[in-house]
Each structure stands twice: as C-alpha cells, then as structure tokens.
Amino acid sequence: MKEHYNEEPYIEVSCIEESNMANESRRKFLRGLSFLVGGTVATALVSGNSLAVAMEHSLKPVIVGSDLLSDGKIFPLSQLKQLKDICAIVIPKTDTLGAAEVNTHGFIDNQLFHCYGKAKQTKIKQLLILINDVAKKNFSRSFTELSQDQQFKLLTELDQGKANFDKKQRADFKALKQLICFGYYTSEVGASQELRYLAVPGGYKGSIPYKGSDANWGSQGLYY
Amino acid sequence: MTENLYINNTKEVYDAIVIGSGISGGWAAKEFCERGLKTLMIERGRVVEHRKDYIGENKAPWQQPLRTKVDNLLVKEQHQIQQQCYAFTDATKHFFGNDKDLPYTTEKGTNFTWIRANQLGGKSLLWHRQSYRLGEYDFNANKSDGFGNDWPIRSQDIEKWYSHVEKHAGISGSLDNLENLPDGEFLPPFEMNSPEKALQAKFAELYPQRPLIMGRTAHLTKPTKLHLSQGRVKCQARNECHAGCSFGGYFSTQSSTLPAAAATNNLHIAPNSVVHSLIYDEKTNRVKGVRVIDNDDLTEREYFAKVVFVCASTIGSTQILMNSTSKKFPNGIANSSGVLGHYLMDHNYNAGASGDIEGFEDEIDRGRRPTGLMMPNFYYKPDASRNFLRGYALAGSAYREGWQSLQHQDGLGADYKNKLKQAGKWRFGLYAQGEMLPRFENQMRFHPTLKDKWGMPQIEFDCQFSDNETNMMIDAAQQAEKMLKAVGLKNVSSQVMNGPPGLAIHELGTARMGRDPKNSILNAYNQSHDIPNLFVTDGASFCSSAVQNPSLTFMALTVRAVDYCVKEMNAKRI
Ligand SMILES: Cc1cc2nc3c(=O)[nH]c(=O)nc-3n(C[C@H](O)[C@H](O)[C@H](O)COP(=O)(O)OP(=O)(O)OC[C@H]3O[C@@H](n4cnc5c(N)ncnc54)[C@H](O)[C@@H]3O)c2cc1C
C-alpha cells in the first residue's frame, strides 16, 4: 500500500529534543496544529493538560544530593556513600553526567523502599557489606577509601564472578547494576542527554539513518 | 451541549437508558442521541473529562516519583489483581479498578484475572486499540464443529455497521484482501520499519498463506474532516495512550462518541451510579428502569426509560441481569433459557517465539508506533488433522534493543556506558492470540453469601482453559519458532506459558445471542428473547470468541442494535 505520510503537514513537535528550542517549537507546533484544527481549537488543545506539561519540559539537569548528609530509607549514610561510589564506577561521568551525579544512589534507596520487598532490600544490603568486606580483606581499607582504580578492579571481579566472588554474588551485582541502569536511564540526564528524548514524536517513521556513535532513544512511552 | 450534562436525581422518563460508558455504552448513547431520543447514560464510576483528567499524561519518567512504577503499599491495598495488567503503571493506575472495593472469588483449582476500569469511558481509555472485523468463517465456526451455538448473524448482517463505526472512530490499516479478515474503511496504515518490510516479503515468499500485515488500530494516522471537527488530530506516536490522549489520537468514549452524543443536546449522564438491578414490570413484560446505589454514599435511587441497553462490559452486564430477579425470572432477568453466566470466554496469549534479525545496523525507527504487525489466523478453515479446533493469530514487531537488554552484559565504566548508549541488534517475535472454545462449564455465578459494598452479590468465576487451548498454544509456539527460523532469524527461542483466562481482557459470552430462545439469551439484534425492550450489546452477547480483538465488533453490534430498536419503537412493537 502507498505510504501517505508525507502528504500532510508534518507537525514538528519534537521540541523537547533540544532545550533551547522549546519556545521556537512551541510556536511551530501551534502553527501546525492551527493549520489542522483551526486556531481556537489549537489554543484549547495546548492549554489542555498534556500539552501544557509537554511544553514546560525543561532540560536543566536535576542534581540532588551531591553532599550526602543523612541516612536513607533503606541504607545508612555509610552505605549510601558506598553506593554512590559504585554508581560512579558503573556509569561514570563522560561528556554527560554519570549515575552518581544524578543521585542514582538516592533513587535506589527510595525505589527499593517503595517498590521492592524485604528480600531484595536485604540482598542489596548484604552485597554492599560483602563488597566492603572484600575491600578490607584485600586492601585493609573500606570500599569508599579505595582509589578509583582499586574500586574498578574489585567491582570488575565481582561483575565477572572471579577471584573473591562466586556466581551467586555475581548475579546479585547484576541485580544492582540493573537498578543503577534503571535509575540513570530514567533520569533526565540519562534519558534526554545521554540518550535522545522525544516527548512528542509527531508521527512514526519506520527508518532513519543511524551511525554506531548515535545515541539510542531514551523515550519509551509508558514502558521502562 | 446539554445545559446540565450530568444529573443525579430526576423524575424524567427517558426514551433510552444506556448502562455503562465504555466502548459499547458510548456508541449506544451516540446513536440514540443522534436519532433524537432522550438518553440517559448511567456510569458507576466518577467523571473523567477529556484532557483535563488525564493526570498521568505526557510525564517523562523523571517527573514521576517512582519512575513509572507504583508504590508497593498502594498495589497491595488496592490493586493486587489490576497490577497484573501490562498497562498498569504510575501514569495509568487511576484508570484501573480498586480491587479492595471490587472483590470476587474463583472456584477452587481455577483462576480468573478480572481487569476493570470503572469510570466514565470505562476501558475505552485503557484499551490497546487493535481493531479487526470478524470473518465469515468466524461466524460459522460454532456451527461447523458443534461447539457452542450458531451465531444468528453472518458477515453481511454486520458489514455496513462495521463501516459506520470505522469511519467515525478512525481505524488505520492496510487493505489486504484476505479471505477471513475483511478489510474496512481504513485510514492509512502505520509504516513498517525496514526489517519488518523485509520479513513481510520473506513470509510472502515462503508462506503465501500466512501474510504479515500492519496491525489495524483505532488511531488517526490521517484524520478526516470529521475527526478534525471533533477536535481530534493526528496520532503523535507517543505510545502513551493508556494514560489518555489530549490529541484525541486514538478512539475512546471521551475523544469520539461522547462529544458526538453530547452535541445533540439529548444526552444526560448519571455518574457515580452503580446499577444494582433492573426494574421489571411483570404485567407488561417490560423493563421500566433501573435501581441504582450511589457509588459514594450508598443511597438508592431509580431511573426510568422506555428501553434499556445494558453495556456494562461482559461480566458487568451479566452481573446486573443475574441480580435482577422476580417471580417470573428467579434466576436472573431474561434467563428463561438458563444459560445466563455460561459460555464465558477470553483469548489465550500463552505462547510465542522470538529471535535476532541480522543486518539493518545503519538504520533505526523514529517515534513510538502504537501498534505492531499481525499475522492473521491461518487456521480459519476447519481441519481434522490438527489436534485442536479453531486457531490463533500471531502478533509482533521489530525493534532495536536498548539499555534494558544491553545492561545484562559484563562491564563497567565509560566503555559500558558507551555500549548502552547505542542501539543494539534488531529483534522480532511472534506472539499468539488464540481462540477459546465456548463451553457450558466455563461460567460466572454469584457467590452464595458474599456481597460487595454496594450490596451486589460477589461474582465467583469457574473458568479454565481446556486441552484444546493448551494443544493450540503448543502448536503456536512450534509454528512461530519454525517460521522465524525459516525467514532467517537467529537465536530463535519459543515458549508456552500457563497464564489463567482473563488477562487477555477480552471477556466474552455469558448472555449469548442465538436463534433459539431455549438456549440463548439474546436474538440476532442483541434483544432479549424474553423482554422486548431489553438489549445487551457488549461482549456478553458473543457466541464464539474468534481470535480477533473483539471491541470493534462490540461497536458494530451496538449501533446495529440501536438502529433496530429505534425502528421497533417507531413501529410501536417496543
Ligand atoms: C489494557 C487493555 C488492552 C486492551 N486492548 C484491546 C485491543 O487492543 N482491542 C480490543 O478490541 N479490545 C481491547 N481491550 C478490551 C476493551 O477495552 C474492552 O473490550 C472494551 O472496552 C469493552 O467495552 P465495554 O463498553 O463493553 O466495557 P467497558 O469499556 O469496560 O465499559 C463498561 C462500563 O460500564 C460500567 N459499569 C459496569 N458495571 C456497572 C454497573 N453495575 N452500573 C453502572 N455502570 C457499570 C463500567 O464502570 C465501565 O465504565 C483491552 C483492554 C485493556 C484493559
């Protein structure tokens, strides 16, 4: 069947991709919409809940908790600090901020408390204790006192289930990595700066060019 | 628009009462109103206003307190059952029923997942919008193998009503000219991505009898003047539909039927009104109205009309009929046949296969298409050589892996971050959607003692998949695996699962149509055999489940029934 896509004005609403474009694309969007439904309806549409929210997206990164001051809901302060270091090792700062800078440790504490059961909470806590014990055994220092190289090496062994670590511990660390990834790639930085975020794609195109260095889509609708 | 759309107490005798405001009730109200009848739509839940009440819409994950997930405590207290639905997220949870208030039981050794959406708009806000006509073989299925009773209608009886609803609702799809999946009045189909196009071509070559088509879906790919005039615009491919869509990109009561009904000035809506039972007048053998319990304060009130359309969803409608007892109908109104509550069906989604697609690394898709592809049922012709009756459709789509899949690999640091940043390999799967046989023993009934907070007897389900459905799923997994390998996918794996009925959320049967009043509740126009001014037009009326997502057929049956009813009223036969 013939593709009908390009026959109609393509509504450019992809504003949300680039922050400084927000106002420009809001205007573009209104123009496109007015063309389709008439000015009054368009204005009414945009003052409706969804679009108002869509248009207010700002892309300033939200950075919370760079100074860790108190216990979390699950983890005591010492473990939060340890978790922050682990986040920084797993997803470090590159040309975009990393997991620690966007408070993924705080996210994990909160998420474990609200969305997971005791078993999972305990598993992660024990994993942190294990990591610290191995650090003390091998380096006579707690994990947070190790150099980044030492932390990286220790966690790599854990990630691969080698040296001091067994298969089960490796699986537990994969579970923690999963929480770190979820926290990071659903954060504003992770979803919209590290990856590309399209709040309102405007339509579906089956194929656009992609180079290996391009970022994948960080916007996934309702399903993360 | 009617000055006061929403009413509470009224002495007015309406021309028509419509119970329920979901897909079926929305259509019934629209059609009555447009024919000039004063219509009262009764809805047990709260009002949900288009746009204004889509409180989860267009929220990025970081704007949600638990990044799309729902708090354990809330789930435990209110949504133990509803959370089993894939569409239950932080952005949609308020459109799902509260399980604490809506208890039900299941017969020992059986299980049934009952997903509910009790508010204005019903499940039309939450549905996945897949929309397919039934074919001639589907209407013939019961007759040909003797399971269930014969449908009293055939394609030609309903064709024009499918067209009628498709034009208004806006259904996108391609004209495929298939023997048992009739084409409709389609808006352009969504695009396929490149691997999908390649697979489609490969399937056409290797399996000419098993075409792969674009999913037909109630989305405005190219709105008509009619749609634009209703304030609906093109689908923006956000795929966040279950949260509500201010663009009106998909069909719902709120976006489509309700505005049309309200524009006639013939509509009133009574929200927060739980219909407890129908008021029956034995002398005239007519239904006079309904008894309602207030959703919030539990007080009672009554509404009256010349005809009553029950559109409260399959199980909701039958619950109301069963609870309407009288001397003449001690086992539920309109139930002289005794089959009310029986022949409960759903679809079976318990099998699938998936694998990797090689190549296409230099492209990706853009936007989130709200539908996948469909391989329509290729077993629609009866064949005794299979070890099961009926058949299944297969659905799936091609996509590039993202961080959710890639995160499982070994690795840490900048390298790992970089790998997760990029799109992974393409994948494709085929997942079954199987027919469930109509069986007398699969049923809903009233629990002997338990009631809900509105005083309605609680429902007890006694419903299971049979060997027929299990054998079918085993075949589906095998076929899907075999085909995916044949078309060149790598690392193909298949699985058969064991989920209970209910979770396909396509509840059907329990007040079936039929030619014979001795073994069916409704006639060919969804009219009660026993009581001329009583109609049931939702899924309860189905004789067989076919494999197609059923809601488009609810729409068509509903508008056809209204047309018939109004003609009968004009002819003074009702
Ligand atoms: C996540 C999901 C995905 C789905 N995907 C698809 C799909 O792709 N294609 C498809 O065809 N179908 C799909 N469905 C099913 C579809 O939503 C239903 O078939 C359809 O909504 C049924 O329409 P209805 O009007 O009969 O019932 P509903 O839409 O459920 O509406 C019934 C209304 O009646 C009200 N009611 C019930 N009892 C009473 C009472 N006693 N008094 C007053 N009011 C009452 C309810 O509150 C509700 O508002 C899906 C459903 C869900 C939840």
The DSSP string of A192-208 is: IIISB--S---S-EEEE
With CA atoms as reference, report the closest residue to B132 among B295, B376, B315, B341. B376
The DSSP string of B263-326 is: TTT-EEEE-SEEEEEEEEETTTTEEEEEEEEETTT--EEEEEEEEEEE-S-HHHHHHHHHT---
> Over 80: is that where the pLDDT of A17 sits?
no
pLDDT digits 0-9 by tens, A145-173: 999 999 999 999 999 999 999 999 999 99
Poorest-confidence range of A48-52, A176-180, B142-146? A48-52
Q: Six-digit token pair at A215?
A: 């970022």
> Over 90: is that where the pLDDT of A48 sits?
no
Q: Is B60 on the interface with A (CB under 8 A)?
A: yes
Strand A205-209 to B426-434 pairing: unpaired
Looking at the domain assignment, is residue A71 inside a domain?
Answer: no
At A19 the pLDDT is 35
Looking at the partner chain, which of A117, A186, A194 has a beta carbon nearest the beta carbon of B67?
A186
Chain A residue with the nearest C-alpha to that of B246: A50
> How far is B181 from B382, CA to CA, in rounded Å?
16
Q: What one-letter code names the amino acid at B160?
A: K
Q: Six-digit token pair at B470?
A: 């299990």
**Alpha helices (H) in chain A, listed in sequence order:** 22-37, 39-47, 49-56, 77-90, 104-115, 118-139, 148-160, 167-185, 188-189
Window 268-287 of B, Cβ < 8 Å to A: none
Determine whether the shortest distance from the Cβ of B558 to ligand 1 is under 6 A.
no
Looking at the partner chain, which of B59, B62, B412 has a beta carbon nearest the beta carbon of A152?
B412
Domain identity same for A124 and A25 = no
Q: Which of A36, A61, A86 is the last residue of a domain?
A: A61
Q: How far, in Å, is the centroid of ligand 1 from the Cα of B281? A: 29
Q: Which of the four pLDDT bands, split at 50, 70 and 90, describes residue A69?
A: confident
Q: For residue A52, give its domain range.
A: 2-61
Domain identity same for A109 and A81 = yes
Domain identity same for A138 and A170 = yes
Domain identity same for A52 and A133 = no
Domain identity same for A182 and A94 = yes
Q: Six-digit token pair at B315?
A: 């199980």
B551-570 and B23-34 helices, crossing angle to 10°: 30
Q: How far is the alpha carbon of A140 from chain B, nearest alpha carbon, in Å?
A: 24
Q: Residue A201: its chain B contacts at CB < 8 A?
A: 236-238, 366-368
Domain identity same for A113 and A169 = yes
> Over 60: is that where the pLDDT of A133 sits?
yes
Looking at the domain assignment, is residue A18 inside a domain?
Answer: yes
Domain identity same for A55 and A82 = no
Looking at the domain assignment, is residue B212 inside a domain?
Answer: no
Looking at the partner chain, which of B57, B89, B236 has a beta carbon nearest the beta carbon of A203?
B236
> Over 90: is that where the pLDDT of A64 sits?
no
**DSSP structure class, residue B528:** B
Q: Six-digit token pair at A97?
A: 């901020």
Looking at the partner chain, which of A89, A203, A210 has a beta carbon nearest the beta carbon of B363?
A210
B502: left (phi over 0), alpha (psi -120 to 50) or beta: left
Looking at the partner chain, which of A51, A107, A201 has a beta carbon nearest the beta carbon of B246?
A51
Q: How far is the alpha carbon of B363 from chain A, nearest alpha carbon, in Å?
A: 4
Q: Which of the four pLDDT bands, split at 50, 70 and 90, describes residue A11?
A: very low
> How far is A208 from B38, CA to CA, in rounded Å?
52
- Per-residue pLDDT averaged across A20-41, rounded? 51
Q: Do A216 and B421 touch (CB under 8 A)?
A: yes
> How far is B439 from B446, CA to CA, in rounded Å?
18
> How far is B212 from B209, CA to CA, in rounded Å?
10
Strand B426-434 to B399-400 pairing: antiparallel
Q: 3-class DSSP state for residue A224?
A: coil
Window 419-478 of B, Cβ < 8 Å to A: 420-424
Looking at the domain assignment, is residue A120 inside a domain?
Answer: yes
Q: How many CA atoms lie within 13 A of B210 on its CB side?
A: 21
At A65 the pLDDT is 47
> Mind listing the pLDDT tens digit of every residue in chain B (574 residues)?
445 899 999 999 999 999 999 999 999 999 999 999 999 999 999 999 999 999 999 999 999 999 999 999 999 999 999 999 999 999 999 999 999 999 999 999 999 999 999 999 999 999 999 999 999 999 999 999 999 999 999 999 999 999 999 999 999 999 999 999 999 999 999 999 999 999 999 999 999 999 999 999 999 999 999 999 999 999 999 999 999 999 999 999 999 999 999 999 999 999 999 999 999 999 999 999 999 999 999 999 999 999 999 999 999 999 999 999 999 999 999 999 999 999 999 999 999 999 999 999 999 999 999 999 999 999 999 999 999 999 999 999 999 999 999 999 999 999 999 999 999 999 999 999 999 999 999 999 999 999 999 999 999 999 999 999 999 999 999 999 999 999 999 999 999 999 999 999 999 999 999 999 999 999 999 999 999 999 999 999 999 999 999 999 999 999 999 999 999 999 999 9
Q: How far, in Å, is the centroid of ligand 1 from the Cα of B324? A: 22
Q: Is A217 on the interface with B (CB under 8 A)?
A: yes
Looking at the domain assignment, is residue B496 inside a domain?
Answer: no
Looking at the domain assignment, is residue B498 inside a domain?
Answer: no
Q: What number of other Cβ atoms are within 10 A of residue B453's Cβ?
A: 13
Looking at the domain assignment, is residue B147 inside a domain?
Answer: no
Q: How far, in Å, is the centroid of ligand 1 from the Cα of B266? A: 24
Q: What one-letter code names the amino acid at B420?
A: L
In CATH, what number is assigned to the domain containing residue B267? 3.50.50.60
Domain identity same for A90 and A152 = yes
Looking at the domain assignment, is residue B541 inside a domain?
Answer: yes
Window 123-152 of A, Cβ < 8 Å to B: 152
Pocket test for ligand 1, best of B93, B505, B554 (most atoms within 8 A of CB): B505
Q: How far, in Å, is the centroid of ligand 1 from the Cα of B539? A: 9
Q: Do B174 and A4 touch (CB under 8 A)?
A: no
Looking at the domain assignment, is residue B229 inside a domain?
Answer: no
Cβ atoms B413, A92 nearer than 8 A: yes
Percent of chain A with pLDDT over 70: 70
Determine whether the shortest distance from the Cβ of B259 to ligand 1 is under 6 A.
no
Instruction: Give this complex's ipTM.
Output: 0.94
Cβ atoms B117, B125 nearer than 8 A: yes
At A31 the pLDDT is 56
Q: Six-digit token pair at B48?
A: 């949900």
Residues ≥6 apart with Cβ < 8 Å to B59: A53, B91, B243
Q: Do B61 and A194 touch (CB under 8 A)?
A: no
Phi, psi (degrees; rounded to nearest 5) at B216: -90, 125
Q: What's the burial of A173, exposed, middle or buried (CB within 10 Å: 0-12/13-18/19+)?
A: buried
Ligand 1 atom nearest residue B132's Cα: 11
Looking at the domain assignment, is residue A119 inside a domain?
Answer: yes
Looking at the domain assignment, is residue B203 inside a domain?
Answer: no
> Over 50: is that where the pLDDT of A8 sits?
no
Determine whether the shortest distance from the Cβ of B505 to ligand 1 is under 6 A.
yes
At A12 the pLDDT is 33
Residue B151 sits at the vertex; the CA angle it makes with B142 and B444, to the nearest 5 degrees, is: 80
Q: What domain count does chain A have?
A: 2
Looking at the domain assignment, is residue A106 inside a domain?
Answer: yes
Q: For residue B111, give its domain range.
A: 3-134+258-347+438-464+505-570
At A155 the pLDDT is 98
Q: Which long-range contacts (CB under 8 A, 24 or more apart) does A78-85 make?
A: A78/A144, A79/A125, A79/A128, A80/A105, A80/A106, A80/A109, A81/A144, A82/A128, A82/A131, A82/A132, A82/A142, A82/A143, A82/A144, A83/A108, A83/A109, A83/A128, A85/A143, A85/A144, A85/A151
Residue with the nearest Cα to atom 50 of ligand 1?
B127
Looking at the domain assignment, is residue A72 inside a domain?
Answer: no
At A41 the pLDDT is 54
Q: Give the H/E segment covering residue B492.
A: strand B490-496
Q: How far is the alpha carbon of B338 from chain A, nearest alpha carbon, in Å?
A: 44
Q: Is B366 on the interface with A (CB under 8 A)?
A: yes
> How far is B466 from B470, CA to CA, in rounded Å?
6
Residue with the nearest Cα to atom 51 of ligand 1?
B127
Looking at the domain assignment, is residue B401 inside a domain?
Answer: no
Q: Residue B91: its chain A contacts at CB < 8 A?
A: 222
Query: Which one of B49, B242, B364 would you mutate to disrupt binding with A, by most A Cβ within 10 Å of its Cβ?
Result: B364
Looking at the domain assignment, is residue A154 inside a domain?
Answer: yes
Q: Is A11 on the interface with B (CB under 8 A)?
A: yes
Handedness of CA B247, A12, B425, B478 (dihedral sign): positive
Cβ atoms B265, B1 nearer than 8 A: yes
Q: Do A214 and B364 touch (CB under 8 A)?
A: yes
How many Cβ contacts (< 8 angstroms) between chains A and B?
Answer: 228
Supply the pTM of this predicted model.
0.94
At A183 the pLDDT is 98
Q: Six-digit token pair at B458?
A: 């609680």
> How far is A149 from A157, CA to CA, in rounded Å?
12
Q: Is A103 on the interface with B (CB under 8 A)?
A: no
Q: What domain count does chain B have?
A: 1
Ligand 1 atom nearest residue B124's Cα: 21
Q: How far is CA B408 from CA A98, B26, B419, in A?
A: 18, 46, 11
Q: Which long-range contacts (CB under 8 A, 24 or more apart) does B10-14 make?
A: B10/B40, B10/B268, B10/B270, B10/B303, B12/B38, B12/B40, B12/B268, B12/B304, B13/B289, B13/B304, B13/B305, B13/B306, B14/B38, B14/B39, B14/B40, B14/B268, B14/B303, B14/B304, B14/B305, B14/B306
Q: How far is CA A218 from CA A107, A199, B182, in A?
A: 18, 10, 38
Q: Give the H/E segment covering residue B354.
A: strand B351-357
At A54 the pLDDT is 46
Question: Which residues face B244 on adjacent strands?
Answer: none
Phi, psi (degrees; rounded to nearest 5) at B72: -45, -45
Q: Which of A13, A35, A61 is the last residue of a domain?
A: A61
Pocket test for ligand 1, best of B313, B347, B446, B554 (most atoms within 8 A of CB): B313
Looking at the domain assignment, is residue A94 inside a domain?
Answer: yes
Number of residues that make up chain A = 224
Q: Is A186 on the interface with B (CB under 8 A)?
A: yes
Q: What number of other Cβ atoms are within 10 A of residue A208's Cβ?
A: 12
Q: Residue B366: its chain A contacts at CB < 8 A?
A: 198, 201, 204-205, 208
Q: What number of other Cβ atoms are within 10 A of residue A179's Cβ?
A: 20
Q: 3-class DSSP state for residue B536?
A: strand
